[in-house]
């Protein structure tokens, strides 16, 4: 039995290592090619760079190009990501709390409507969404396309279903007696949520924030539809697209820009991975 167990562990270790190499290979390619020139990438894309200082030169070139406006793209990505994450997490947590504590057919139907958002592909609603935003502008004069608030509202619609589902599963495990005790002490419903419920939901908050941050920060399709390419408001993925022209592709700047865009998300994930695993397990069990 001991020999068989050791053999199984060895096989699982080999499989894990192979999967790790497969998953990390694209990131390895991006890192080594971000410190090369376009000629070096084309001639030998898998070799180590001759001069790692080329990475700093590429970063400087990207940051100082007036036609790309990479610094403004970073600012736009931060505004859209932070605004979307704040609204998605707070509104979804409040919605899930109300749905859990309200025992009625209406609350069940509303929760099922939220869940339906998980199974509807984005490609089905992307063009109707743009048309709807245009209708809003024609009816009210409020611009939704090529604006920060238009992007944030769109991300709320696509990010809320999963967030509500995760918060809903976790809140069901919170004893109702805590809220009843707070009510007896004179707390209002907003005070109960923000002072009692929100601190308990911290693991789920971190999980929802990281999962949505990875998606929103790296998303290309939705910003290209709502913001457009080459507009005043553009995210980092839209700025990276400017390096790939119809006839010339600046692979050195593309790789460096991808590495610059991925670095904040990677760092945030490494610091929050324990909370993510804890939140996912807690939400699935409770």
What tens digit of pLDDT does each residue of 196-229 get?
888 888 888 888 998 899 899 999 889 988 987 6
pLDDT of residue 253: 86
Q: Is 222 in contact with 212 (CB distance < 8 Å)?
A: no
Assess whether pLDDT exceeds 60 at residue 9: yes
Q: What is the pLDDT of residues 245-262, one digit of tens each?
A: 655 678 888 888 888 888
Q: What is the mean pLDDT of the chain?
A: 85
Assess whether pLDDT exceeds 80 at residue 68: no
| pTM recorded for the entire structure | 0.84
User: What mean pLDDT do residues 82-99 have?
Assistant: 94
DSSP string, 168-189: HHHHTTS-HHHHHHHHHTT--H
Assess whether pLDDT exceeds 50 at residue 63: yes
Cα–Cα distance, 150 to 258 (Å, whole number)? 25
User: What mean pLDDT do residues 41-62 have?
Assistant: 85
User: Is residue 242 within a helix (H) or strand (E), and if so which, with residue range?
Assistant: none
What domains are defined for the chain?
Answer: 68-285 (1.10.3720.10)
| Residue listed under structure tokens 């290309």 | 220
Radius of gyration of the chain (CA): 23
| Range 190-198 contact pairs with CB under 8 angstroms and sequence separation of 24 or more | 193/93, 193/94, 193/97, 197/93, 197/97, 197/171, 198/93
pLDDT of residue 17: 92
Assess whether pLDDT exceeds 50 at residue 284: no
Which of these, 95, 62, 100, 86, lies nearest to 257 by C-alpha position? 62
């Amino acid at each position: 039995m001991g020999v068989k167990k050791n053999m199984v562990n060895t096989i699982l270790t080999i499989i894990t290592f192979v999967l790790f190499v497969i998953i990390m290979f694209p990131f390895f390619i991006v890192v080594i090619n971000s410190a090369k020139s376009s000629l070096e990438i084309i001639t030998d894309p898998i070799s180590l760079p001759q001069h790692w200082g080329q990475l700093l030169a590429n970063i400087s070139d990207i940051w100082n190009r007036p036609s790309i406006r990479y610094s403004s793209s970073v600012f736009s990505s931060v505004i859209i990501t932070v605004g979307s994450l704040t609204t998605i997490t707070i509104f979804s947590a409040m919605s899930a709390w109300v749905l859990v504590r309200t025992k009625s057919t209406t609350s069940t139907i509303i929760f099922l409507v939220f869940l339906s958002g998980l199974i509807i592909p984005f490609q089905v609603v992307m063009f109707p969404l743009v048309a709807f935003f245009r209708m809003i502008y024609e009816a009210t004069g409020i611009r939704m396309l090529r604006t920060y608030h238009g992007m944030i509202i769109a991300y709320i619609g696509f990010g809320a279903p999963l967030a509500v589902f995760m918060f809903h599963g976790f809140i069901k495990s919170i004893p109702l007696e805590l809220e009843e005790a707070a009510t007896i002490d004179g707390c209002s419903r907003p005070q109960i949520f923000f002072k009692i419920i929100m601190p308990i939901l911290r693991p789920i908050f971190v999980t929802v924030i990281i999962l949505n941050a990875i998606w929103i920060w790296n998303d290309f399709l939705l910003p290209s539809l709502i913001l457009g390419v080459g507009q005043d408001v553009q995210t980092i993925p839209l700025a990276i697209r400017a390096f790939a022209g119809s006839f010339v592709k600046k692979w050195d700047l593309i790789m460096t820009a991808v590495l610059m865009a991925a670095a904040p998300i990677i760092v945030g994930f490494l610091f929050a991975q324990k909370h993510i695993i804890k939140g996912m397990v807690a939400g699935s069990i409770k």
